Amino acid sequence: MTSFRIGRRGLIAGSAAALLPLPASAAKEDWRKLADEVRESMRWAWQNYRERAWGKDQIMPVSGGAESFSIKGQHVGLSLIEALDTLWLMELDAEFKDGVDWIHANLSFDIDGEVSVFETIIRLVGGLLSAHLASGDKLLLAKAKDLTDRLMPAFTASPIGLPHRYVNLKTGAVRGPVTNPAEIGSCITEFGTLSRLTGDPRYFKAAKKAMVALFGRRSDIGLIPDAIDCMTGEWKSRRATIGPPSDSYYEYLWDGWQLLGDRDCLTMYKSCTAAILENQKAMLNGDLWFVDVDFETGKRINWEQDELSSFYGGLLAQGGEPVIGEAYTRSWDKVQAKYGILPEGYDPEKDAPTYKTNALRPELADAAFNHWLLDGKEEWRALVARHFRAMQQWNKAAYGYAVMADVTTKAQADHCPGYWWSEQMKYYWLIFADCRRFDYRKNYLSTEGNVLLGFRH
């Protein structure tokens, strides 16, 4: 494996990994063996999905049933599409082909039903594009384009270019004008890729217009609150957060620069990051956190932390703030150590979970993977190994991997989100295996873990 890499969001860093002494525990770790275990877990979960929920959106891992995601009772093979590029990277080629064959035979988006624009872009458009880039299969690209065309009314309905939250795939009717940064601004890499592959600039332009329109409304101290009316541009909240529902807006500002070389995205990323570091970074008992604040005064609202925010350390490192990013990732690692598995919410001031559930989320592994791509330190692989082993210990159910109802009792619930197939299984594999099909020097993974740059054929 190379020791000089360009990470998920592209900051170039010379790795000193080869020169660093390994911590005793990491030195003993057999990474290849761990990678094989990840691949076998993926194969086993896929087999269960194949047998019990084939073509359905999500398998129910405790009962072996199935559930739809966006449109009640309507399935578009969500988990299958999310899994494809992970399968390809793992060289599970028969499984990959089986999934692509299902798409050829069954997938249609001509459905009279309403979907979340954001979730559909990051999961389905992104999944189809990455599978197309892995395989060269033209139908996958055609499906991604067909789906995106059905989503476009969400963007064009607004006079200022901010998308509505929901759109009907058949009629183009839109709903949900009160929206948020993540749902507005997490599509420039999927849409930019689609524009590049189809030669149609409309997708990239719509994505960028939305990002710029939101950025242009920031406060005098440079912060963006977490709710806005997409028709009027009026703020509907005062809370600025790096967590949901704002998180991936900041990620995609950087990503627009990394994947597409868009300088405006870089400028906006730097501006937002400077404001966040100035107003939201806070130390408590030696740990570094980012707190929610009033977007005009910078006054702290509370100390509550959302697990989804734990991706942010990796992003900061890629954007040129490795010391702060690493400190933040380590704060989350301590929470993982405390509960064995991360709760959805945690209050460091009260030292207690604010939400005891665990949604089988990938963010901490995502951050560590990105640190590792940049600096190659074994610390990050060891962190990801703990994340993986916790999942094996607590989330494994009879027919797949399940979310938790309560991290303190370790009670499971009967649900496996689609992102599980696209995100942590891929991060585990890429960080433990020396993957022959992945370019560790030059790559891009979307917020959903979809590889839009970096396949090696």
Which positions lie near ligand DMJ, rule CB under 6 A? 122, 248, 308, 361-363, 419, 447-448
List the one residue out of 281, 295, 252, 273 whose CA is nearest residue 121.
Answer: 252
Q: What phi and psi, each to the nearest 5 degrees, are found at residue 157? A: -70, -20
Q: Which helix (H) or strand (E) holds 155?
A: helix 153-156
| Three-state secondary structure readout of 62-76 | CCCCEECCCCCCCCC
Shortest Å, Cβ 138 to ligand DMJ: 27
Q: Checking DSSP bridges between strand 345-347 and strand 305-306, what pairing results, if any? A: antiparallel
What's the rounded Cα separation, in Å, for the pair 28 and 433?
A: 16
Q: Which two tokens stand for residue 418?
A: 């689609």
**455: three-class secondary structure by DSSP:** strand
What's the rounded Cα separation, in Å, for the pair 143 and 128?
A: 7
Please, which residues have CB within 8 angstroms of residue 7's CB and are 6 or more apart in sequence? 13, 317, 318, 370, 373, 374, 443
Shortest Å, Cβ 425 to ligand DMJ: 13
Residue nearest to ligand DMJ (CB): 447
Which residues face 446 on adjacent strands?
none
Nearer to ligand DMJ, 185 or 322 (CB): 185
Q: Would you tell me how many other CB atoms lie within 10 Å of the CB of residue 47?
A: 13
What's the rounded Cα separation, in Å, for the pair 183 and 36?
A: 36
CB 290 within 8 A of CB 354: no
What's the rounded Cα separation, in Å, for the pair 148 and 143?
A: 9
What's the rounded Cα separation, in Å, for the pair 201 and 324?
A: 37
Nearer to ligand DMJ, 225 or 362 (CB): 362
Shortest Å, Cβ 258 to ligand DMJ: 16
Shortest Å, Cβ 363 to ligand DMJ: 6
Shortest Å, Cβ 158 to ligand DMJ: 22
Q: State the residue for tokens 């954001």.
A: 118
Nearer to ligand DMJ, 219 or 450 (CB): 450
Amino acid at 288: L
Q: State the residue for tokens 């998180």.
A: 247
